[in-house]
Amino acid sequence: MSRVLLNANNQITDPYGNNHSGVDVVKKENQLAPIIAHSSGIVILTQTGQKNNKGSTGTLSYGNFVKIRHDNGYYTLYAHMNEVYVKQGQRVSKGEQIGYMGDSGNAYGAHLHFEVRDQNNNRINPTYYLDNDLPSKENRQILYQAYDNIKKSWLPNVSVGSADYAGNFGNAIGGIYLDSYRMRVHDKVKNLWLPWVINRQDYAGNLGNAIDGLQIEGVTYRVHLTNGPWLPWVNKVDDTANGYAGIYGREIDAIQIK
């Protein structure tokens, strides 16, 4: 059951990623629906009075929207609404109606554009959260896991934000699983970036081939070189030398995410 549409299941019409900052959903069979608060929180921002405005950019592109700050520090945002039922500063409960689906702003047809942002207001992949709770404040159990190319096996799960790391020093990593975040790895053997992956739908890597670069959106991360040191923490993703973790040509044997 959807956490953002009233009494409905989600039908995804446009996935997150590839310059899409959220996930687009409608009710099954392309039906419209009232939009509900994903979780309890405070409405920190609304925009109202907007009509369809194809080609608009920035905040206007969202049309009528609501942004909520939740009790764990995360944010959700609901865009393109036809009507907004709540006001800035208002506290809302999980499942409370906050608006109705529409096509205001830069929309080519009525749908809900849904975003999730972490405590730093960085966008993260919202797909998993369409049907699931946000991480709890005390225990952000977002897990990651590395594949040991020497042992030819997946190593134990590690929690994002813990002091642990994923990997065995000395054994190159060939794959990474990660909950909730979008990432990709650079394959040392093929000497190229592999496709972005999300939400354990797939792992990043070619098992058996060493990884020599890593990019993860929305978190701070670092890698350890085989027979070398930990490299500096990285907190962004771009094409510059600081926009990924790793050194091309040098195998990675551990990763850490905070």
The contact set with Zn ion (CB under 5 A) reads 22, 24, 113
| Smaller CB separation from Zn ion, 22 or 167 | 22
Least distance from Zn ion to the Cβ atom of residue 52, Å: 14
| Smaller CB separation from Zn ion, 22 or 126 | 22
Handedness of CA 219, 78, 43, 91 (dihedral sign): negative
User: Token digits for 72?
Assistant: 């764990």
| Smaller CB separation from Zn ion, 27 or 113 | 113
| Smaller CB separation from Zn ion, 41 or 105 | 105
| Smaller CB separation from Zn ion, 128 or 244 | 128
Nearest to 21 by CA among 134, 129, 123: 123
Neighbours of 56 (CB within 10 A): 16
Least distance from Zn ion to the Cβ atom of residue 68, Å: 17
Measured between alpha carbons, how far is 5 from 101 in angstroms, rounded to an integer? 9
Q: What's the N-to-C CA distance of the chain in angstroms?
A: 31
Measured between alpha carbons, how far is 47 from 42 in angstroms, rounded to an integer? 15
Least distance from Zn ion to the Cβ atom of residue 105, Å: 10
Measured between alpha carbons, how far is 207 from 173 in angstroms, rounded to an integer? 8
Measured between alpha carbons, how far is 48 from 235 in angstroms, rounded to an integer? 34
Least distance from Zn ion to the Cβ atom of residue 110, Å: 12
Measured between alpha carbons, how far is 257 from 166 in angstroms, rounded to an integer? 9
Least distance from Zn ion to the Cβ atom of residue 24, Å: 4
Which residue number has the CB closest to Zn ion?
A: 113
